[in-house]
Amino acid sequence: MHASMRWISALCLTSVGTLALAGCGTSPTTAASGPVSLTFEEGIQSPQTQAYVQQEIHVFEKQHPNIHITMQNYGAADSEIPKIESAVAAHNPPNLLWIAPAYTGQFASSNAIVEASNAIVEAQKYFHSANFNPSTIFPGLLKTGVYKGKVWTMPFDANDLAVYYNKKLFKQAGIKTPPATWQQFLVDAQKLTKNGTYGFEMPIGNQEWTVWIWETLLWQAGGHLLNSTRTKVTFDSPAGVKALNYWVTLMKDHVATFGPLNQAYQLGDFESGKVAMMINGPWNYSALQQQHQVDYGAFPLPKDKIAATNIGGESLFIFNTTPTQDKAAFLFAKFVTSPQFQIGYDTGSGYLPVSIPAEQSTQYQEYLKKNPFIQVFAKEMSVGKARPPIPAYSQISADIGNAIENALYGKMSASKALHQAAVAAQQALNSNG
């Protein structure tokens, strides 16, 4: 196995064994004799990646002539969850949703989505499985979609976080080696802040993008979101305070500037030279390749006590609609986890594979050799951690987001902000688990 995925441990769950029987057969037909229409809501940012997925949907539809899939882009992921909650309440959810697996528990606990281990057995009556092994999907990624011992969502893609940097500005500042520690990152940010350029773009806003990045600092400082039994929030620990104060220091030293509110993954400030460094993911690789304003590179997130990044990526959520649509949706889930789809998707988008055969393929390995930018993210997976897929995570994230805003805007100390957030988050954890 390539080093990029050695971090993954085996997942010995009965539900994963059952997953091998998913409507994942090789038969090109579905149970329905008439046409089946599916809606697929996604938040893919890159136009090139969107075009590839749409192209592959047409391939899928040719293989399954009675299934039609309509793609709908929802824009920012943080704004999508309230819309989906309203759609579920109105009994009108999409059939398929592309979004972070951290929301698995939230929808699984209310039975809004199809439980894989049950729906798969029913689907097997119609789809004949052949040569489909659960090991074709990385078990660690399957684990992000597990709630109470059962698989609820199928991984679509994988990613993590690293630092984009402007090579020209680094050279002008005399920085020969990217920073590997928090302290060196601060020193380099100071060197890079001049002539209208800031050393770092600070994510800001109380939504998940900001929180997702800050969680990496919490882990790097030796902290945790929850205790080992997931019954108590622990992010207001000394490690958490240290992590938030580090960001406060970057702002107070005037070596960082805020990015777009809740959308600091956008490339505008980086491409224009306003910021020399920003934390981002591999999914913007195709967009970076299209521009000619900045000579870019990537390096691993600097560490404090330990190295850590946040494992991201999206999963496919299949919402409870009709049995016929659910079965057709499982066919599409099988399609997007196939090596054929994954290789084209990953080499075109910068995402990392969820399929072991795709990751080990000669084509993908050659791609990594030719693209050192993506190699950085692939290697970072070895120190990756994941958000807990529990029902309360969405509220816990919102509470942490409020704490980050309060500290960065100078409304209260990092210690007070995190304590206030922890009290609210604990109530959410007690209520929803």
146 and 180 co-located in one domain: no
377 and 428 co-located in one domain: no
Cβ-count burial of 174 within 10 angstroms (0-12 exposed, 13-18 middle, 19+ buried)?
exposed
Distance of alpha carbon 425 from alpha carbon 421, whole angstroms: 6
Distance of alpha carbon 99 from alpha carbon 155, whole angstroms: 10
Distance of alpha carbon 240 from alpha carbon 222, whole angstroms: 9
Number of H helices, E strands in the chain: 19, 14
113 and 202 co-located in one domain: no
Find the CATH number of the domain harbouring 343. Answer: 3.40.190.10
Contact 81, 103 (CB under 8 A): yes
Distance of alpha carbon 318 from alpha carbon 327, whole angstroms: 10
**Confidence at residue 31, expressed as pLDDT on a 0 to 100 scale:** 43
271 and 417 co-located in one domain: yes
- What domain count does the chain have? 2
Indicate the SS3 state at residue 295. coil
DSSP state of 84: H
**Confidence at residue 213, expressed as pLDDT on a 0 to 100 scale:** 98
409 and 374 co-located in one domain: no
**Confidence at residue 144, expressed as pLDDT on a 0 to 100 scale:** 84
257 and 349 co-located in one domain: no
**Confidence at residue 20, expressed as pLDDT on a 0 to 100 scale:** 33
100 and 201 co-located in one domain: no
115 and 99 co-located in one domain: yes
Domain membership of residue 112 as a residue range: 3-159+312-385
Beta bridge partners of 155: 315
316 and 304 co-located in one domain: no
Task: List pLDDT tens digits, range 402-425.
Answer: 999 999 999 999 999 999 999 999
Conformational region of residue 111, where left means phi above 0, alpha means psi within -120 to 50, and beta covers everything else:
left
**pLDDT by 10s per residue, the chain, length 433:** 333 333 333 233 333 333 333 333 333 344 445 899 999 999 998 888 999 999 999 999 999 999 999 999 998 777 888 999 999 999 999 999 999 998 999 999 998 998 765 544 444 433 333 333 556 777 778 778 888 888 888 889 999 999 999 999 999 999 999 999 999 999 999 999 999 999 999 999 999 999 999 999 999 999 999 999 999 999 999 999 999 999 999 999 999 999 999 999 999 999 999 999 999 999 999 889 999 999 999 999 999 999 999 998 999 999 999 989 998 998 898 888 888 899 999 998 889 998 888 888 999 999 999 999 999 999 998 899 989 989 999 999 999 999 999 999 999 999 999 999 999 999 999 998 7
DSSP state of 87: H
**Confidence at residue 178, expressed as pLDDT on a 0 to 100 scale:** 98
Residues 6+ apart with CB under 8 A from 66: 29, 30, 32, 33, 34, 35, 36
178 and 64 co-located in one domain: no
Task: List pLDDT tens digits, range 333-383.
Answer: 888 888 889 999 999 888 999 888 888 899 999 999 999 999 999 999 889
251 and 325 co-located in one domain: no
275 and 376 co-located in one domain: no
Contact 281, 161 (CB under 8 A): yes
